[in-house]
Amino acid sequence: MKNICVIGTGYVGLVNGTCFADLGNNVITVDIDENKIAALKRGEMPIYEPGLKEIVERNVKAGRLKFTTSYAEGLKDAEFVFICVGTPEGVDGEADLKYVRAAAETIAKTMDHPLIVINKSTVPVGTGDWVADIIRKNQPKPIDFSVVSCPEFLREGSAVADFMQTDRTVLGSLDQHAAEAVAQLYLPLRAPIVMTDLRTAEMIKYASNAFLATRLSFINEISIICEKLGADVIEVAQGMGFDKRIGHHFLQAGVGYGGSCFPKDVAALAHMAQTHGMHPQLLHAVMEINAFQRKHVALKLHDLLDGSLKGKTIGVLGLAFKENTDDIRESPALAIITHLLEQGAIVKAYDPVAMENALEEIPAINGCADPYEVAKDADALVIATPWNEFKQLDMVRIRDMMKTPILLDGRNIYEPRIMQSLGFTYRGVGRGYDGAGNSQPGD
């Protein structure tokens, strides 16, 4: 049993702190947001993440997990302190490190015994050295500490499972003993542990996310080619994936990637390369394709609705950037909706858990209580997030409630021939046929 302090109660901090407590450690999670800590103490979750609330409640009840706004309380008996604060995208694509700086400075001013500081936030290569310098400069008196980089690889919507069943743990440090001590925390997970230096560990995180984003942009570009040539991108991806060198993961064509990681991490890596005199052509292409994929949806609607969206009522199912989360950061759905509103459309929408967040971001959205209300009198319906409940809708009822049965399936959750047999004018992503073997003219 170890004493662990976690700074930050976002996705990374709350999930890591809770899971470490579930492994039998004593964990105190610190956040300067008094309202968030008060809510956590009442058992209210600041994020939607399947299974997390139950694990939080179990470990709070067992006395292994506590929440506080006090760094002094959090660091009092800590052996390890994890920095799990946000690193939002800056003006030029760079990672904004103000929260990391604030955490490092406060740790330095508060610590009264040796600590191992683990950077869990996604940070530019070289940040581990920078954090060490900040702590060293802000200590009232010299106290030994070590910095370890341990990048996170959690996916929103499956973060608890990703922690407990991780593919690997990456640890980077100039202090081998510190890295080995952190490795002991992860041994119960029985996953490979990669030991390296600080900068390499930081780069592994960026390279991993950039590669996954590249796969998504690749298959999205292929999907547009499929539409022009009359091929089916789903079958193309399946055929490709049987090649063991390629695999099936992250080859699902859709409306583009979003969320808190891929967009900012690809941009940050490109920015790092540019500041060192390089021209990251592939990374720029990945971002350009992703941006176009969202616009492509609106262009399809434009063609399907006789060249104009003005005054047309468009229903949108799904607002979160992916299923099983309430996170709307860089959500393709919101990007599509913004374009529709700019073109004069009226937008109705529904999401099982992200409605409140989305309406705060775009008040012009007409929020609905369920998918059927969205479909009522709609000129077209867009599937923007692949929630399971959307896969089981009464599509005959949906069709009958719409003004015109135009269905734009941005996540390819329906079979084109079935939807067309029900009377829908159906368009998917990369489904380059109309159900009768004919390519889609104009797409």
pLDDT tens for 125-182 read: 999 999 999 999 999 999 999 999 999 999 999 999 999 999 999 999 999 999 999 9
Listed in sequence order, the DSSP H helices in 242-367 are 262-275, 281-304, 332-342, 355-361
Among the residue ranges 294-298, 346-350, 427-431, the one predicted with the least confidence is 294-298
286, 290, 291, 293 alpha-carbon torsion, rounded to 10°: 140
Q: What is the pLDDT of residues 232-273, one digit of tens each?
A: 999 999 999 999 999 999 999 999 999 989 999 999 999 999
In angstroms, the first-to-last Cα distance of the chain is: 59
Same-domain check for residues 235 and 125: no
Closest to 268 in 3D by CA, of 93, 144, 441, 122: 93
Residue at 248 is within a domain:
yes
Query: Quick one: what percent of the chain has pLDDT higher than 90?
Result: 93
What does the block give as tokens for 428?
Answer: 């998917």
Same-domain check for residues 180 and 120: yes
Residue at 107 is within a domain:
yes
Confidence of residue 188 (pLDDT cuts 50, 70, 90): very high
Could you give the CA distance from residue 1 to residue 406 in angstroms, rounded to a whole number? 58
- Tokens 């890591």 — which residue? 16
Confidence of residue 441 (pLDDT cuts 50, 70, 90): very low
- Give the pLDDT score at 443: 42
pLDDT at 434 > cutoff 60: no
What does the block give as tokens for 282?
Answer: 């592939």
Confidence of residue 433 (pLDDT cuts 50, 70, 90): low
- Give the pLDDT score at 435: 41
Whether the CB-CB separation of 227 and 297 falls below 8 Å is answered with: no
Same-domain check for residues 46 and 147: yes
DSSP string over 163-187: HHT-S-EEEEES-HHHHHHHHHHHG
* Number of structural domains the chain divides into: 2
Same-domain check for residues 191 and 221: no
Name the domain boundary from 169, 196, 223. Answer: 196
Could you give the CA distance from residue 279 to residue 262 in angstroms, rounded to a whole number? 19
Closest to 13 in 3D by CA, of 68, 76, 77, 91: 68
Residue at 443 is within a domain:
no
Q: What is the pLDDT of residues 382-425, one digit of tens each?
A: 999 999 999 999 999 999 999 999 999 999 999 999 999 999 99
Same-domain check for residues 27 and 174: yes
pLDDT at 299 > cutoff 80: yes
Same-domain check for residues 265 and 216: yes
- 326-346 mean pLDDT: 96
How many residues are given for the chain? Answer: 443
Confidence of residue 91 (pLDDT cuts 50, 70, 90): confident
- Tokens 């394709």 — which residue? 289
Residue at 167 is within a domain:
yes
Output DSSP code: residue 348: E
Same-domain check for residues 21 and 151: yes
Structural domain for 243, as ranges: 209-427
Same-domain check for residues 103 and 223: no
Name the domain boundary from 148, 163, 196. Answer: 196
pLDDT at 436 > cutoff 50: no
- Give the pLDDT score at 93: 83
- Give the pLDDT score at 31: 96
Output DSSP code: residue 378: -
Query: Quick one: what percent of the chain has pLDDT higher than 70?
Result: 98
Confidence of residue 227 (pLDDT cuts 50, 70, 90): very high
Q: What is the mean pLDDT of the chain?
A: 95
- In the sheet that 193-196 helps form, which strands lie side by side, from edge to edge? 65-68, 26-30, 3-7, 80-83, 115-119, 145-149, 169-173, 193-196
- 28-54 mean pLDDT: 95
Coil, helix or strand at residue 118 = strand
Same-domain check for residues 169 and 60: yes
Residue at 133 is within a domain:
yes
Could you give the CA distance from residue 189 to residue 164 in angstroms, rounded to a whole number? 6
Catalytic residue among 84, 150, 261, 368: 261
pLDDT at 92 > cutoff 90: no
Residue at 72 is within a domain:
yes
Percent helix / strand / coil, the chain, rounded to 5: 45, 15, 40
> What CATH number does the domain containing 378 carry?
3.40.50.720
Among the residue ranges 90-104, 222-236, 262-276, 283-297, the one predicted with the least confidence is 90-104
Could you give the CA distance from residue 272 to residue 375 in angstroms, rounded to a whole number? 45
- 424-432 mean pLDDT: 94
At position 127, the amino acid (one-letter code) is T
- Looking at the DSSP bridge assignments, the partners of residue 317 are 350, 383
Could you give the CA distance from residue 353 to residue 295 in angstroms, rounded to a whole number? 25
Closest to 107 in 3D by CA, of 135, 141, 149: 135
- Give the pLDDT score at 442: 44
Whether the CB-CB separation of 201 and 150 falls below 8 Å is answered with: yes
Burial of 164 (0-12, 13-18, 19+ CB in 10 A): middle
Residue at 434 is within a domain:
no
Same-domain check for residues 368 and 243: yes
Same-domain check for residues 228 and 173: no
Residue at 344 is within a domain:
yes
Same-domain check for residues 274 and 328: yes
Side-chain-side CA neighbours of 128 within 13 Å: the count stands at: 27
Output DSSP code: residue 389: G
pLDDT at 430 > cutoff 60: yes
- Looking at the DSSP bridge assignments, the partners of residue 81 are 5, 117
Active site annotation includes 261: yes
- Tokens 């004018």 — which residue? 425
Could you give the CA distance from residue 109 to residue 335 in angstroms, rounded to a whole number? 42
Name the domain boundary from 146, 170, 196. Answer: 196
Task: Determine the Cα angle at 231 with ends 228 and 236, to 5°.
Answer: 125
Closest to 182 in 3D by CA, of 58, 25, 62, 63: 25
